[in-house]
Protein backbone atom coordinates (compact mmCIF):
# COMPACT_ATOMS: atom_id res chain seq x y z
CA UNK A 1 0.00 0.00 0.00
CA UNK A 2 1.07 3.61 -0.28
CA UNK A 3 3.12 5.57 2.25
CA UNK A 4 0.06 7.18 3.82
CA UNK A 5 -1.64 4.83 6.25
CA UNK A 6 -5.24 5.64 7.02
CA UNK A 7 -6.41 4.17 10.32
CA UNK A 8 -9.89 3.12 9.24
CA UNK A 9 -10.38 2.54 5.50
CA UNK A 10 -14.15 2.23 6.04
CA UNK A 11 -14.67 5.76 7.33
CA UNK A 12 -14.39 8.82 5.10
CA UNK A 13 -12.90 11.59 7.15
CA UNK A 14 -10.22 14.17 7.62
CA UNK A 15 -6.51 13.39 7.40
CA UNK A 16 -4.04 15.55 9.30
CA UNK A 17 -2.15 17.89 6.96
CA UNK A 18 -4.77 17.78 4.18
CA UNK A 19 -7.82 19.92 3.53
CA UNK A 20 -11.26 18.34 4.18
CA UNK A 21 -12.32 17.58 0.59
CA UNK A 22 -8.88 16.29 -0.36
CA UNK A 23 -8.90 14.13 2.79
CA UNK A 24 -12.26 12.67 1.86
CA UNK A 25 -11.11 11.97 -1.69
CA UNK A 26 -7.95 10.30 -0.38
CA UNK A 27 -9.84 8.02 2.00
CA UNK A 28 -12.07 6.88 -0.86
CA UNK A 29 -9.08 6.38 -3.15
CA UNK A 30 -7.32 4.33 -0.46
CA UNK A 31 -10.36 2.12 0.07
CA UNK A 32 -10.68 1.47 -3.66
CA UNK A 33 -6.97 0.64 -3.93
CA UNK A 34 -7.11 -1.64 -0.88
CA UNK A 35 -9.97 -3.63 -2.40
CA UNK A 36 -8.27 -3.75 -5.80
CA UNK A 37 -5.12 -5.21 -4.22
CA UNK A 38 -7.21 -7.69 -2.23
CA UNK A 39 -8.90 -8.86 -5.42
CA UNK A 40 -5.55 -9.83 -7.03
CA UNK A 41 -3.65 -11.10 -3.97
CA UNK A 42 -1.61 -14.22 -4.61
CA UNK A 43 -1.97 -14.27 -8.40
CA UNK A 44 0.82 -15.90 -10.39
CA UNK A 45 2.28 -14.47 -13.59
CA UNK A 46 0.25 -17.06 -15.50
CA UNK A 47 -2.97 -15.90 -13.83
CA UNK A 48 -2.11 -12.23 -14.39
CA UNK A 49 -1.51 -12.93 -18.10
CA UNK A 50 -4.61 -15.11 -18.62
CA UNK A 51 -7.00 -13.96 -21.37
CA UNK A 52 -10.32 -15.74 -21.75
CA UNK A 53 -10.48 -14.81 -25.45
CA UNK A 54 -8.15 -13.40 -28.06
CA UNK A 55 -9.78 -9.97 -27.70
CA UNK A 56 -9.97 -9.82 -23.90
CA UNK A 57 -7.66 -8.04 -21.50
CA UNK A 58 -5.66 -9.77 -18.81
CA UNK A 59 -5.68 -8.83 -15.14
CA UNK A 60 -2.08 -7.63 -15.56
CA UNK A 61 -3.14 -5.36 -18.43
CA UNK A 62 -6.00 -3.96 -16.35
CA UNK A 63 -3.63 -3.22 -13.45
CA UNK A 64 -1.24 -1.51 -15.89
CA UNK A 65 -4.21 0.45 -17.26
CA UNK A 66 -5.10 1.71 -13.78
CA UNK A 67 -1.51 2.90 -13.27
CA UNK A 68 -1.35 4.53 -16.72
CA UNK A 69 -4.68 6.27 -16.18
CA UNK A 70 -3.40 7.74 -12.92
CA UNK A 71 -0.26 8.98 -14.68
CA UNK A 72 -2.43 10.66 -17.32
CA UNK A 73 -4.55 12.34 -14.63
CA UNK A 74 -1.41 13.47 -12.79
CA UNK A 75 -0.34 15.52 -15.80
CA UNK A 76 -3.89 16.71 -16.51
CA UNK A 77 -4.61 17.90 -12.97
CA UNK A 78 -1.23 18.73 -11.39
CA UNK A 79 0.36 20.27 -14.48
CA UNK A 80 -2.93 21.55 -15.93
CA UNK A 81 -2.28 20.18 -19.41
CA UNK A 82 -2.80 17.13 -21.58
CA UNK A 83 0.01 14.66 -22.11
CA UNK A 84 1.98 15.06 -25.31
CA UNK A 85 2.14 12.22 -27.82
CA UNK A 86 5.79 11.70 -26.86
CA UNK A 87 4.88 11.36 -23.17
CA UNK A 88 2.17 8.83 -23.98
CA UNK A 89 4.34 6.52 -26.12
CA UNK A 90 5.22 4.15 -23.28
CA UNK A 91 1.73 4.40 -21.77
CA UNK A 92 -0.32 3.72 -24.94
CA UNK A 93 -0.47 -0.08 -24.58
CA UNK A 94 -1.83 0.30 -21.04
CA UNK A 95 -3.98 3.37 -21.69
CA UNK A 96 -5.65 2.00 -24.81
CA UNK A 97 -5.38 -1.71 -24.00
CA UNK A 98 -6.54 -3.66 -27.07
CA UNK A 99 -3.96 -5.42 -29.24
CA UNK A 100 -0.94 -3.34 -28.07
CA UNK A 101 -1.79 -4.15 -24.46
CA UNK A 102 -2.26 -7.85 -25.19
CA UNK A 103 1.10 -8.00 -26.96
CA UNK A 104 3.22 -5.90 -24.57
CA UNK A 105 1.74 -6.27 -21.11
CA UNK A 106 2.65 -9.74 -19.91
CA UNK A 107 5.25 -11.70 -18.04
CA UNK A 108 5.28 -9.43 -14.98
CA UNK A 109 4.84 -10.64 -11.39
CA UNK A 110 2.14 -9.09 -9.22
CA UNK A 111 4.77 -7.09 -7.32
CA UNK A 112 5.63 -5.22 -10.53
CA UNK A 113 2.07 -3.92 -10.89
CA UNK A 114 1.66 -3.16 -7.18
CA UNK A 115 4.95 -1.22 -7.17
CA UNK A 116 3.71 0.89 -10.10
CA UNK A 117 0.39 1.53 -8.38
CA UNK A 118 2.14 2.45 -5.12
CA UNK A 119 4.60 4.82 -6.84
CA UNK A 120 1.72 6.61 -8.53
CA UNK A 121 -0.35 6.83 -5.38
CA UNK A 122 2.56 8.13 -3.30
CA UNK A 123 3.19 10.82 -5.90
CA UNK A 124 -0.50 11.74 -6.08
CA UNK A 125 -0.79 12.08 -2.31
CA UNK A 126 2.41 14.13 -2.12
CA UNK A 127 0.91 16.47 -4.72
CA UNK A 128 -2.41 16.60 -2.87
CA UNK A 129 -0.51 17.79 0.22
CA UNK A 130 0.60 20.88 -1.78
CA UNK A 131 -2.97 21.71 -2.74
CA UNK A 132 -6.23 22.71 -1.12
CA UNK A 133 -9.96 22.35 -1.64
CA UNK A 134 -10.05 25.45 -3.82
CA UNK A 135 -7.68 23.71 -6.27
CA UNK A 136 -9.77 20.55 -6.06
CA UNK A 137 -12.86 22.50 -7.10
CA UNK A 138 -11.13 24.45 -9.90
CA UNK A 139 -13.04 24.26 -13.19
CA UNK A 140 -11.43 22.54 -16.16
CA UNK A 141 -12.50 22.08 -19.76
CA UNK A 142 -14.24 18.81 -20.46
CA UNK A 143 -15.30 17.28 -23.78
CA UNK A 144 -18.36 18.65 -25.55
CA UNK A 145 -17.91 22.13 -24.05
CA UNK A 146 -18.74 20.99 -20.54
CA UNK A 147 -16.82 21.82 -17.37
CA UNK A 148 -15.34 19.46 -14.84
CA UNK A 149 -13.10 20.07 -11.86
CA UNK A 150 -10.11 18.35 -10.30
CA UNK A 151 -12.39 16.65 -7.77
CA UNK A 152 -14.41 15.03 -10.55
CA UNK A 153 -11.27 14.10 -12.48
CA UNK A 154 -9.80 12.19 -9.53
CA UNK A 155 -13.18 10.63 -8.79
CA UNK A 156 -13.27 9.55 -12.44
CA UNK A 157 -9.79 8.00 -12.11
CA UNK A 158 -10.76 5.81 -9.17
CA UNK A 159 -14.21 5.11 -10.62
CA UNK A 160 -12.35 3.64 -13.62
CA UNK A 161 -10.36 1.49 -11.18
CA UNK A 162 -13.59 0.22 -9.61
CA UNK A 163 -14.90 -0.74 -13.04
CA UNK A 164 -11.73 -2.64 -13.92
CA UNK A 165 -11.59 -4.30 -10.50
CA UNK A 166 -14.96 -5.82 -11.34
CA UNK A 167 -13.52 -7.13 -14.60
CA UNK A 168 -10.55 -8.60 -12.71
CA UNK A 169 -12.87 -10.43 -10.33
CA UNK A 170 -14.82 -11.84 -13.26
CA UNK A 171 -11.60 -13.00 -14.95
CA UNK A 172 -10.53 -14.75 -11.72
CA UNK A 173 -13.87 -16.59 -11.62
CA UNK A 174 -13.45 -17.61 -15.26
CA UNK A 175 -9.97 -18.95 -14.53
CA UNK A 176 -11.36 -21.25 -11.85
CA UNK A 177 -13.80 -22.76 -14.35
CA UNK A 178 -11.12 -23.56 -16.92
Q: What is the pLDDT of residue 31?
A: 95
Distance CA 112, CA 119 (A): 11
In tens digits, the chain (178 residues) has pLDDT values of 555 556 678 889 999 999 999 999 999 999 999 999 999 999 999 999 999 888 999 999 999 999 999 999 999 999 999 999 999 999 999 999 988 889 999 999 999 999 999 999 999 999 999 999 999 999 988 778 889 999 999 999 999 999 999 999 999 998 887 6
Distance CA 118, CA 141 (A): 29
Give the tens place of pLDDT for each residue, 4-14: 556 678 889 99
Distance CA 47, CA 24 (A): 34
Q: What is the pLDDT of residue 144?
A: 82
The shares of helix, strand and coil residues in the chain, as percent rounded to the nearest 5, are 65, 5, 30
Phi and psi torsions of 80, nearest 5°: 55, 45
pTM check: above 0.85? yes
Amino acid sequence: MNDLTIENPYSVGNIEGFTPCISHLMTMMNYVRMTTIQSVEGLSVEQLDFQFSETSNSIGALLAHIAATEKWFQVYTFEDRKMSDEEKVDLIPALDLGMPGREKIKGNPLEYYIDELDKNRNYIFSEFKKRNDEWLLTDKEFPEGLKSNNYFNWFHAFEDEINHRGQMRLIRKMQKKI
